[in-house]
């Protein structure tokens, strides 16, 4: 008799739970289900990458002051100090193999020719090199993690992703204190670390022009 009572109670609980699930399911819109499916597909795509590739771009020409080229070395040292269990080799030596983009930091000594887009000639080479390496990495089935360097590097990173997937729509989540969407027409400083999104979106914002270009 006791077992029968427990079974009836369990069955009653099951019916109540099933009814609740049915009510919840009926409230979920088709749009929400499609959105959830899209998120799952995106995670699945990321999971397809067998490994990551660390790409170092030790460029600082885009910034107003120097020092950004030491960023990757600082991160590497911090990782060693942290001694991550996932990255620490058995012999106690941290192994962080990486790919490097050739920089043009020596151009700083020569001065800049274009005051509203400082070192643009040298930075073009850096961004092009970054773009090529990011594209090659993605095409090889690896997930690129790009470390800079100043923020101008992002223009090359975005271009590389688009080069690898020319027919795909690309989304960018930009997290910074500034929009970095100035162009040579609007920049107050001429520093190209304030222009990567403008470069990526081919936006000159001519309507807000404050500079006449050479």
Does 78 or 87 have the greater pLDDT score?
A: 78
Residue 71 Rama label (left phi>0; alpha psi -120 to 50; beta) = alpha
pLDDT digits (tens, 9 = 90+) for 148-186: 889 999 999 999 999 999 999 999 999 988 899 999 999
Class of domain 45-208: alpha beta
Whether 211 shows a pLDDT value over 80: the answer reads yes
For the entire predicted model, the pTM comes to 0.71
Mean pLDDT confidence for 111-136: 94
C-alpha–C-alpha distance, residues 205 and 68, integer Å: 28
Whether 1 shows a pLDDT value over 80: the answer reads no
């Amino acid at each position: 008799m006791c077992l029968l009572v427990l079974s009836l109670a369990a069955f009653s609980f099951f019916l109540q739970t099933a009814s609740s699930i049915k009510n919840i399911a009926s409230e979920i819109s088709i749009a929400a289900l499609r959105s959830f499916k899209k998120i799952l597909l995106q995670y699945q795509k990321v999971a397809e990458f067998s490994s990551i590739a660390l790409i170092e771009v030790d460029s600082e020409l885009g910034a107003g002051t120097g020092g950004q080229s030491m960023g990757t070395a600082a991160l590497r040292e911090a990782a060693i100090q942290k001694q991550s269990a996932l990255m620490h080799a058995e012999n106690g030596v941290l192994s962080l193999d990486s790919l490097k983009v050739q920089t043009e930091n020596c151009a700083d000594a020569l001065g800049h020719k274009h005051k509203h887009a400082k070192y643009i000639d040298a930075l073009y080479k850096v961004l092009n090199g970054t773009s090529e390496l990011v594209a090659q990495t993605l095409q090889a089935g690896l997930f690129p993690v790009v470390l800079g360097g100043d923020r101008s590097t992002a223009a090359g990173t975005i271009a590389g992703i688009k080069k690898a997937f020319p027919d795909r729509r690309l989304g960018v989540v930009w997290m910074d204190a500034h929009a970095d969407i100035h162009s040579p027409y609007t920049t107050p400083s001429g520093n190209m670390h304030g222009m990567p999104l403008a470069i990526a979106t081919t936006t000159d914002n001519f309507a807000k022009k404050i500079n006449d270009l050479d």
